Each structure stands twice: as structure tokens, then as C-alpha cells.
């Protein structure tokens, strides 16, 4: 392949982010789930939930480590791969970047304390309180870093003339139009994904090891949380659509292959595009795009033809957008199905149908796939801009001559880390049997 | 004081903080592995693990803080260093990533996995070496701007005696700082067997550290005589650093006041590091970036400083709690208190 630093810089950034997002999502969502479990344990005086928090925390540390190091990687890579962009960004949005490290600092300190103070305090409440700064820290760092990404989508709070940036207003840059929906969507979907991942583990255990009280309690807690968070994710997703229609119409139009500006716009599911931009085999839902964009079935939606050809995002984002939305809808439905099954399970000695457990086992990886799709759509959908309306991606990249070699090196790194994480977590899972631990800790019974 | 001076002081303090905590961390990782392969693991491993486990994540944050801060206050650093440092920067990232994750794997996942420990121990010495190249580059002579493009002169860096002197000093002082800290921690834990081992390391690495410092001092004269001149003007700081070194070694030699000894080690590096930093000014990257020409806007500087103060109000009590629970809690340090969940 011809050496092109821009292409390789994009590939390396995509690779690092795609890998980091897995661990970042877990890092934001799982502390909240651990907190829910510990809170339930204290409120109901039920040691099962306290064991749940302990076991989740044990696996969580491994993912945090990888999250921290890949986060460091992307932090440094921003300057290494996009020096011209960071020259501008460094002046306009240094504040949220700076605050993010504080949030991370806060989280790191209290996570360290939390992990090493099980049984150290007489009151269980003290240990629970240590978790609050961890939850606040992890969600706050997601908040700050997402404002940076929001800024790249709807930059404001500065002036750029001939490469010189003036009139900087840090707070205006931080609280740009994209911030509210982006932050809300990122937080809700992270909580949702983490809940589904933990639910998947519980469902998997129920499938493998017959029926245990511990895993049924875990399934109930995680699936209830997952339903609440998937409903909020869907709600915010709808608001995000309205945001796009107003501020980044080309992104929404590319996702929906909506070329001509028109009223009563339909939403297209699936299908493919011919060379003349005609949609074949797509499922059209009448008026749905108008509703998504403006909340009214007859509203006018701006088409892609209004955007100059050179400023249009690639059209394959349609498939990615569809995938994200379908996964979201499927998972929300799954949450309701679980509710229904749970009511029936009461009469059925607490047993769940195996097909449902199988579906829930798949929900964890699916939710993560949804996260990846969402980010690819958000990022590719704003191409060719790195700062929409201000700087093209090609102008922000490094001119260095070794990006391809670095890409290969990082590929090896992430493969190695990924495989070791799977191995280590698998071992942790196998070596610590719940029943044995329930008995060892004197939590009565075990088998229920 | 103007914004520029506040900005660089804040950053330099954080870099100094990183220097101390990371040295303890990197060196301890190496000693941990070394004691493992030489069959003395049972003697020192517990001490190292008890200290390191709750703080490893915090160490990393110091570095990120510095990185983000310098881009915030001096955005042009992102442009010059960013373009020039692609290879050394990426290598440092990979080493940091391997070290951080394999620490967690070997500590929380599979205990005593030789391969995990090797990766963790070996990277501990390579990271200081790769990070120290940034300081070397800041002296100038390794970056050229040509036709609007920034070029990094790899060959010159590899051939420069100054660059090798800095790498050597980085590695040696990591081992010195770390063993001095572990000596203090072992004494606090009243673990005499561990104390004997780490005290030996500390005394052993003290002479190489001071020799390498002298080497770097003179190598700067060869590489950037102007900077050397400014260092001579501040020679009292380097003298004070040497005095602190003598006191620290004397105390460890006499087997008393280990806590004071480590404090003097910190002062030794504080004098040397701030002396070096002060004499480096006004240049951030010689001769392209100075403190005054490439500073961020006043509004951003002000909001960063406000954010910094607010952040410190949150951090200092939290760090104090962390230290109180794990560094100054006698029963925890001696291993009597409960372990992780």
C-alpha cells in the first residue's frame, strides 16, 4: 500500500479507540453495578449481594488495568498522531482534558482503597461510601472526555483565522450543542452495556451449573438495571436524532440515505445502494425519519444533496447505524421479556426458560457490539472533518514517516493484551466457585 | 507571579511527583522480579506487594496529568514534540501498557506466572530510559524544522554521549530511589530479613547514582554550553542536592532514621530536578518553544489554574487518606490487617 500518514494515523487511532472503548465502557458502568449490589446487600442485610460486589470487583480490576493503559495510549497518541489538531484543541479544550485527569485521579485513589479495605471497617456502610467517589470519578471522566468529542462535532467558543486561534471561551467550548445528548447517551449506554455483560455472566452460569440462588439474584439485579438503562438509552438516542437533524444534518442524512430534502421522510432499514444512489430491498418505515428528526410525521428533513460532495460522510455508515439501533431495540425487548419470565418463574420454582438464558448470555457481547457501532457511526459520520467546519482530518494528521510500523506494533500489543485478558478472566472465573465461596464465607446454605 | 511561571511550576511539581512515585514503582517491579529469579522472593516480595498494590493506578495519573497540562499551557509542545516523538513515544506507550496490564494480571489473576512477572519487571527499567529521551530532546539539537515540517534526527540522538548519560542516570536513579524507599518501608514493617536485602540494594546503587549525575552535568556542557552556564549560576542547588545525598546514605549506613533518610533522598532529587528545571528556562524546547512565545491564551490559563486549585482541594485529602490507610497504618504495613477481597 502507498504510504499515507493520514490513512495510517486514522487506522491507528481507530484501532486504539476500538480496543479502549471495550474497557472504558466497563470502567464506567461496572462501578455503578457494584455499588447497586453493595447497597442492596446493606439495605436487605443479604450477604449474597455483598459477595456479588466482591466477585464483580475482582474481575473489574483486570479490566481497569487494561482500560488505564489503553487510555494512556490514546491520550499520548492524540498528540503523536494529530499534532496540528492538538495545537488548536490544546488551546480551546484543554480545560475538560485537564479535568478528566482529576476525575480519573479521584477514581484511582478510591478504587485502590476500596479494593484493599474489605472487612477492614466495622460498619459495612463505610466500605460502601468509598465506592461513591469511584462511581462519581468514572462517570465524571466519561463526561469530560465526551465533551471533548462533542466539541469536535460542534466546535464553538473560539475563532480560527489563518491557523491562528483567538477569542477562546473555555466553558462555551465545553458546553457546546452536542454535549448534552452525547454525554447522556454515552453514560446511559455504558451503564446498560455493563448491566447486560454482568447479566450474561449470571445467565451463562445458570445454564451451566443448573440453578443457584446466587446467580438468580445476580440475574434479577442486573436485568432490572439493564431494562432501566436501555430505556433511558433509547430515550436519549431519540434526542440525539433531533440534535443531529438540527446541527449535523449531513450525518443523519448519510445514516438514512436521505438524499432529497423532503417532508414526510421515511426511515430505511437495511437494503443496499446502487451506483446511482438508489435504495434496493430496504424496508421503509413511513414518516419515521421525520419523527426521529423533528418529532412530527410531516416535518421536512434536510437531504444529503444539500451538502457539497467533498464534505459528505461515507455512505456505509447506514449499515452501522442500523446495527446499533437494532441491537438497542432487541436488548430493550429482552429486558421486557425477562420481566415477563420473572413473574412466571415465581410459580415455576424460580426457573427460567433455557432459550431466555441463552439470549441473555448473548446480550452482553451484543451490547458491546452496539457500543462499537455507535462510536464508529459517530466518528465516521463526521468525516471528512476533524473539527466540523474548521479543520479537515487530512490537515490534522502527523507528517511523520513511521506511522505504518507503529500501526503493526500496536496491533500486536492489543492482540497480546486481549488474549491475556480473556485467559486471566477465564481462569479467575473457573478457579473461584460460587458455592465454595458461599460456604467458605459462612453464608448459609449455598444450594437453594 | 505571571501565568507562565505558575503554569510551568505546576507542571514541574507534577513531573517531580511522577519521578518519585514512578521510580519507586518501576524499581520495585524490577526488584520483585529479580528476587523472584534469585530465589529470594519470600524475603522481599510481601513488602513490595503490600505497598504497591493500592497505589499503582495513581502513579500513572501523574504522568497523564503532566502530559495534558503541558499541552494545555503550551499547545505548541503538542505540535513539535508530537511530530518528533512518534517512535520513542509509541515505544514508551507500549512499555507502559505491557507493564500496567501485566502487573494486574500477575497480581490479581495468575499469581507467580513467570512470563507475566518478566514482562512487568523488565519494562520497569526500559520505561525510564524511553521517557528520559524527552528531556534529552528538550535540550535542542535533535529536532529540525524544514519547509514547515518537523524532522526528528534519530541518528544524532543515538550518537550523542549526552543522551546516553541521561538514559544511564534514569535507570540508576530509579533503582536507587526505589531501594531507599523499600528500606524505609521494610524498617517500618519491622521485617528485618527484607530490610537487610533492600538496604544492600540501596547502598549498592548510591555511588552509581552520584557518578551518573556528574556525568550528565558535564555532558550538558558538551551539548548545550548555554544551559550549562545557567546551571553553574544555580550551583548552590546542586551542592544542596549532594549534601542531602550524603545525609541519606549516612543514615542508612548507620541503620537509623530510615524515614529521614528517604526524606533526604526526596530532597536530593528535588534540588537537582528543580535546579535543572530552573536553569532550562525560558526554553521548553530549545530553541523553538519558550515560556513566553507559545503560551496559551490568558482565559484558558486562568481557567486551568482555577481547575487545578479545585482539583487539589479534592486530591490532597484523598491522597492523605490513601497514605493514612496504607503507608502510615502500622498494622497494614506489618501485614496484620485484612487482605483484598
448 residues of chain A, pLDDT tens digit each:
677 888 888 899 999 999 999 999 999 999 999 999 999 988 888 888 888 888 898 889 889 888 888 988 888 888 888 888 887 777 788 888 888 888 888 888 888 888 877 777 777 788 888 899 999 999 999 999 999 999 988 888 888 777 677 788 888 888 989 899 999 999 999 999 999 999 999 999 888 876 688 888 899 899 999 999 999 998 998 888 888 888 888 888 888 888 878 877 778 777 777 766 777 777 777 777 777 777 777 877 778 888 888 888 888 888 898 899 889 999 999 999 998 888 887 776 667 888 888 999 999 999 999 999 999 999 888 888 877 777 777 777 777 778 888 889 999 999 999 998 898 888 888 777 777 777 777 775 544 4
**CA-nearest residue of chain A to B111?**
A424
Tell me, letter by letter, the H, E, C secondary structure of chain B. Answer: CCHHHHHHHHHHHHHHHHHHHHHHHHHHHHHHHHHHHCCCHHHHHHHHHHHHCCCHHHHHHHHHHHHHHHHHHCCHHHHHHHHHCHHHHHHHHHHHHHHHHHHHHHHHHCCCCHHHHHHHHHHHHHHHHHHHHHHHHHCCCCEEEECCEEEECHHHHHHCHHHHHHHHHHHHHHHHHHHHHHHHHHHHCCCHHHHHHHHHHHHHHHHHHHHHHHHHHHHHHHHCHHHHHHHHHCHHHHHHHHHHHHHHHHHHHCCCCHHHHHHHHHHHHHHHHHHHHHHHCCEEECCCEECCCCCCCHHHHHHHHHHHHHHHHHHHHHHHHHHHHHCCCHHHHCCCCCCCC
**CA-nearest residue of chain A to B65?**
A101
Alpha-helical segments (H) within A163-211: 170-174, 179-208
Is residue B29, in this structure, part of any structural domain at all? yes
Give mean pLDDT, residues B19-46: 80
- Tell me which residue in B54, B73, B110 faces A112 most closely, judged by beta carbons: B54
CB atoms within 10 A of CB B202: 27
For residue A447, what pLDDT is reported? 45
**CA-nearest residue of chain A to B106?**
A424
Q: Do B64 and A101 make contact, defined as CB atoms within 8 angstroms?
A: yes
Q: Exposed/middle/buried for A252, CB within 10 Å: 0-12, 13-18, 19+? A: buried
For residue A444, what pLDDT is reported? 55
Is residue B127, in this structure, part of any structural domain at all? yes
B112 or B114, which is more confident? Answer: B114
Residue A284: in which H helix or E strand, if any? Answer: strand A283-285
- The β-bridge partners of B146 are B149
CB atoms within 10 A of CB B21: 20
- pLDDT value at B337 more than 60: no
- A10/B contact by beta carbon, under 8 A: no
- Tell me which residue in B87, B98, B297 faces A91 most closely, judged by beta carbons: B297
**CA-nearest residue of chain B to A407?**
B90
Min Cα–Cα distance to chain B from A98, Å: 6
Mutation site, B56, B61, B333, interface A, largest A CB count within 10 A: B61
Alpha-helical segments (H) within A308-396: 317-347, 354-380, 393-396
Are B258 and B248 in contact by the 8 Å Cβ rule? The answer is: no
Across all residues in chain B, what is the average pLDDT? 80
- Per residue in B199-242, pLDDT (tens digit) is 888 788 888 888 888 888 888 777 778 878 888 888 898 889 88
- d(CA B68, CA A144) in angstroms, rounded, equals 13
How many residue pairs bridge chain A and chain B with CB atoms within 8 Å of each other? 229
Is residue B340, in this structure, part of any structural domain at all? no
Q: Which of A80, A121, A95, A180 is nearest to A402 (CA)?
A: A80
- d(CA A424, CA A178) in angstroms, rounded, equals 39
Q: Which of A434, A341, A367 is nearest to A49 (CA)?
A: A434
Is residue B167, in this structure, part of any structural domain at all? yes
- Tell me which residue in B87, B104, B337 faces A65 most closely, judged by beta carbons: B104
- A169/B contact by beta carbon, under 8 A: yes
- A76/B contact by beta carbon, under 8 A: yes
Q: Which of A24, A31, A62, A104 is nearest to B318 (CA)?
A: A104
Q: Do A110 and B341 make contact, defined as CB atoms within 8 angstroms?
A: no
- Per residue in B140-193, pLDDT (tens digit) is 777 777 777 777 777 777 777 888 888 888 888 888 888 888 888 888 877 777
Is residue B51, in this structure, part of any structural domain at all? yes
ipTM over 0.95: no
Min Cα–Cα distance to chain A from B297, Å: 7
Min Cα–Cα distance to chain A from B119, Å: 12
Which three three-digit cell numbers place residue A257?
440515505
Min Cα–Cα distance to chain A from B274, Å: 23
Q: Do B82 and A79 make contact, defined as CB atoms within 8 angstroms?
A: yes
Q: Do B101 and A409 make contact, defined as CB atoms within 8 angstroms?
A: no
Give mean pLDDT, residues B324-331: 70
For residue A230, what pLDDT is reported? 93
Q: Which of A107, A89, A91 is nearest to A143 (CA)?
A: A107
Is residue B246, in this structure, part of any structural domain at all? yes
Q: Which of A410, A328, A363, A315 is nearest to A202 (CA)?
A: A363
- pLDDT value at B293 more than 80: no
For residue A368, what pLDDT is reported? 94
Is residue B338, in this structure, part of any structural domain at all? no
Q: Which of A53, A48, A47, A49 is nearest to A30 (CA)?
A: A53
Q: Do A77 and B93 make contact, defined as CB atoms within 8 angstroms?
A: yes
- d(CA B332, CA B210) in angstroms, rounded, equals 34
Question: In angstroms, how far is CA A99 from the centroid of its own chain?
Answer: 20
Quote the domain boundaries for residue B128: 3-333
Is residue B291, in this structure, part of any structural domain at all? yes
Q: How many domains does chain B have?
A: 1
Min Cα–Cα distance to chain B from A434, Å: 14
Amino acid at each position: 500500500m502507498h504510504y499515507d500518514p493520514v490513512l495510517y494515523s486514522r487506522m491507528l487511532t481507530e484501532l486504539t479507540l476500538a480496543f479502549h472503548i471495550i474497557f472504558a465502557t466497563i470502567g464506567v458502568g461496572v462501578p455503578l453495578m457494584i455499588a447497586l449490589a453493595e447497597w442492596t446487600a446493606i439495605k436487605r442485610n443479604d450477604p449474597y449481594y455483598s459477595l456479588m460486589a466482591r466477585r464483580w470487583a475482582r474481575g473489574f480490576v483486570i479490566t481497569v488495568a487494561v482500560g488505564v493503559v489503553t487510555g494512556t495510549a490514546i491520550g499520548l497518541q492524540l498528540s503523536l498522531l494529530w499534532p496540528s489538531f492538538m495545537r488548536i484543541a490544546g488551546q480551546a479544550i484543554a480545560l475538560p482534558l485537564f479535568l478528566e485527569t482529576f476525575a480519573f485521579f479521584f477514581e484511582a485513589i478510591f478504587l485502590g482503597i476500596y479494593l484493599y479495605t474489605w472487612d477492614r471497617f466495622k460498619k459495612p456502610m463505610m466500605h460502601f461510601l468509598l465506592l461513591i467517589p469511584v462511581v462519581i470519578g468514572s462517570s465524571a471522566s466519561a463526561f469530560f472526555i465526551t465533551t471533548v468529542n462533542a466539541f469536535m462535532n460542534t466546535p464553538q467558543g473560539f475563532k480560527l483565522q489563518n491557523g491562528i486561534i483567538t477569542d477562546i471561551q473555555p466553558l462555551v467550548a465545553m458546553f457546546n450543542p452536542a454535549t448534552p445528548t452525547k454525554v447522556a447517551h454515552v453514560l446511559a449506554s455504558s451503564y446498560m452495556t455493563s448491566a447486560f455483560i454482568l447479566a450474561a455472566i449470571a445467565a451463562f452460569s445458570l445454564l451451566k451449573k443448573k440453578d443457584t440462588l446466587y446467580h438468580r439474584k445476580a440475574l434479577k439485579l442486573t436485568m432490572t438495571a439493564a431494562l432501566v438503562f436501555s430505556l433511558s438509552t433509547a430515550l436519549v438516542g431519540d434526542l440525539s436524532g433531533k440534535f443531529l437533524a438540527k446541527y449535523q444534518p449531513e450525518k443523519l442524512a448519510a445514516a438514512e440515505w436521505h438524499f432529497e430534502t423532503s417532508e414526510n421522510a421515511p426511515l430505511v432499514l437495511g437494503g443496499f445502494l446502487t451506483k446511482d444512489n438508489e435504495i434496493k430491498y430496504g424496508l421503509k418505515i413511513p414518516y419515521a425519519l421525520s419523527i426521529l428528526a423533528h418529532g412530527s410525521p410531516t416535518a421536512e428533513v434536510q437531504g444529503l444533496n444539500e451538502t457539497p460532495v467533498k464534505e459528505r460522510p461515507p455512505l456505509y455508515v447506514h449499515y452501522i447505524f442500523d446495527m446499533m439501533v437494532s441491537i438497542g431495540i432487541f436488548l430493550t425487548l429482552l429486558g421486557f421479556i425477562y420481566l415477563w419470565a420473572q413473574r412466571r418463574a415465581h410459580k415455576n420454582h424460580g426457573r427460567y426458560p433455557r432459550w431466555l438464558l441463552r439470549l441473555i448470555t448473548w446480550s452482553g457481547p451484543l451490547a458491546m457490539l452496539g457500543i462499537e457501532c455507535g462510536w464508529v457511526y459517530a466518528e465516521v459520520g463526521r468525516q471528512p472533518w476533524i473539527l466540523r467546519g474548521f479543520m479537515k482530518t487530512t490537515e490534522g494528521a502527523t507528517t511523520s514517516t513511521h506511522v505504518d510500523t507503529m500501526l503493526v506494533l500496536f496491533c500486536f500489543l492489543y492482540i497480546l493484551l486481549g488474549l491475556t485478558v480473556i485467559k486471566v478472566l477465564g481462569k479467575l472465573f473457573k478457579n473461584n466457585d460460587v458455592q465454595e465461596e458461599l460456604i467458605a464465607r459462612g453464608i448459609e446454605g449455598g444450594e437453594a | 507571579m505571571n501565568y507562565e511561571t505558575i503554569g510551568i511550576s505546576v507542571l514541574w511539581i507534577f513531573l517531580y511527583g511522577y519521578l518519585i512515585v514512578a521510580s519507586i514503582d518501576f524499581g520495585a517491579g524490577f526488584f520483585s522480579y529479580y528476587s523472584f529469579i534469585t530465589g529470594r522472593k519470600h524475603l522481599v516480595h510481601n513488602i513490595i506487594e503490600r505497598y504497591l498494590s493500592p497505589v499503582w493506578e495513581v502513579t500513572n495519573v501523574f504522568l497523564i496529568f503532566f502530559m495534558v497540562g503541558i499541552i494545555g499551557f503550551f499547545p505548541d509542545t503538542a505540535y513539535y514534540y508530537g511530530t518528533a516523538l512518534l517512535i520513542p513515544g509509541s515505544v514508551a506507550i507500549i512499555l507502559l501498557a505491557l507493564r500496567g496490564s501485566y502487573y494486574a494480571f500477575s497480581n490479581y489473576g495468575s499469581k507467580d506466572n513467570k512470563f507475566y512477572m518478566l514482562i512487568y519487571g523488565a519494562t520497569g527499567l526500559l520505561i525510564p530510559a524511553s521517557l528520559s529521551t524527552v528531556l534529552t530532546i528538550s535540550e535542542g539539537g535533535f529536532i529540525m524544522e524544514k519547509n514547515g515540517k518537523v524532522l526528528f534526527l534519530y541518528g544524532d540522538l543515538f550518537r550523542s554521549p549526552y543522551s546516553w548519560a541521561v538514559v544511564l542516570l534514569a535507570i540508576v536513579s530509579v533503582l536507587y530511589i526505589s531501594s531507599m524507599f523499600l528500606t524505609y518501608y521494610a524498617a517500618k514493617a519491622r521485617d528485618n530479613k527484607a530490610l537487610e536485602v533492600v538496604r544492600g540494594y540501596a547502598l549498592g546503587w548510591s555511588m552509581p547514582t552520584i557518578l551518573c549525575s556528574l556525568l550528565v552535568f558535564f555532558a550538558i556542557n558538551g551539548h548545550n554550553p548555554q544551559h550549562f552556564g545557567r546551571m553553574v549560576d544555580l550551583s548552590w542547588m546542586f551542592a544542596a542536592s549532594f549534601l542531602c545525598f550524603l545525609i541519606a546514605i549516612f543514615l542508612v549506613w548507620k541503620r537509623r532514621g530510615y524515614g529521614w533518610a528517604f526524606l533526604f533522598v526526596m530532597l536530593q532529587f528535588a534540588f537537582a530536578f528543580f535546579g535543572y528545571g530552573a536553569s532550562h528556562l525560558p526554553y521548553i524546547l530549545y530553541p523553538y518553544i519558550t515560556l513566553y512565545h507559545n503560551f496559551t491564551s490568558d482565559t484558558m490559563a486562568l481557567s486551568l489554574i482555577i481547575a487545578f486549585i479545585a482539583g487539589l482541594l479534592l486530591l490532597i485529602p484523598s491522597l492523605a487518606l490513601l497514605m493514612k490507610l496504607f503507608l502510615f497504618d502500622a498494622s497494614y504495613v506489618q501485614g496484620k490487617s485484612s487482605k483484598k477481597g
